[in-house]
Structure 1
Amino acid sequence: MYIDSPDTFYTTDDTIGGRISLARDANGLSVEAAALAIGIAAGTWIDWENDRDAPFPDRLVMIAEALGVSLAWLVSGRGEGPTWITSDNASAFRPD
């Protein structure tokens, strides 16, 4: 993955597995928690992240929803990707 600046990520050259991993990390989820969120085995999720297998289209929708990214971003790297929580924007993610 190429990082142009601290705030800009270009993921069009990455794989679906790489984007799944990136979005899971951005959300601070473990593999187990992410897999549980869509009702699959953790080993299946790991296979997807490592490009040893690919999710079926219906699972892509579930993954995108669980990780808070657009389906377009998950499939192509273009669209609404993950929001990284940093010290600069952490207050926006804290409950009132």
Structure 2
Amino acid sequence: MSIYDRIEILIKTKGMTKKEFCLKLGISTGNLGDWKRGKSTPSTNKLIEISAFFDVSLDWLLTGRERNPLQVNESPGCYGANLAIDWGKVTDQLTPREVVFIQEYLEFARYRKRKENEGN
């Protein structure tokens, strides 16, 4: 099952038409058609918008599976206050596309944190 197939399921579950979905999320019907044919896939930002709109995880939207619920939760200070990352060295070892992906992921993490804080 593809990302498009999961999006189509979400659209139907919400009782929307594909046109309504496109209008609400600012997607052209041509782009939606390209996703269906496998000609292209949604951008990272668009996937974030879609997952937030339907209140589903990105894991499910991308893979059809939820993340493994077994996680290690550590306190923020468990590694000490002196832990520092030299982002210049890290980004020097990445492709420009990987840097953009990390930036988009950090933006998504901030967005989710804001949403969680608004809910509390």
TM range (shorter): 0.5 to 0.7
Cα pair distance change 1:48/1:67, threshold 3 Å = farther
Q: Name the residue aligned to 2:36.
A: 49
Separation in structure 2 between the aligned mates of residue 48 and residue 66 of structure 1, nearest angstrom: 18
Cα pair distance change 1:23/1:56, threshold 3 Å = same
- The answer on whether the counterparts of 1:24 and 1:30 sit within 8 Å (CA) in structure 2 is yes
Cα pair distance change 1:30/1:50, threshold 3 Å = farther
Cα pair distance change 1:25/1:55, threshold 3 Å = same
TM-score (norm. length: structure 1)? 0.60
- Residue by residue over 1:49-73, the C-alpha shift from the partner in whole angstroms, topping out at 9 and shown as x without a partner, is 3423201111100111222321111
Give matches, 1:1-96, under 5 Å.
14-79=1-66
Amino acid in the other structure paired with 1:69: V
User: Which structure features the higher share of strand residues?
Assistant: 1
Separation in structure 2 between the aligned mates of residue 53 and residue 19 of structure 1, nearest angstrom: 15
Q: Name the residue aligned to 1:5.
A: none
TM-score (norm. length: structure 2)? 0.50
- Structure 2 residue runs of 5 or longer lacking an equivalent are 68-120
Q: Name the residue aligned to 1:11.
A: none
Higher relative contact order (CA 8 A, sep 6+): 1
Backbone CA RMSD of aligned residues: 1.8
> Secondary structure, in 3 states, of the residue corresponding to 2:24?
helix
Q: Percent same amino acid among aligned pairs?
A: 30
Q: Report which of the two structures shows the higher radius of gyration computed on alpha carbons.
A: 2
User: Which structure features the higher share of helix residues?
Assistant: 2
Give the number of equivalent residue pairs.
Answer: 67
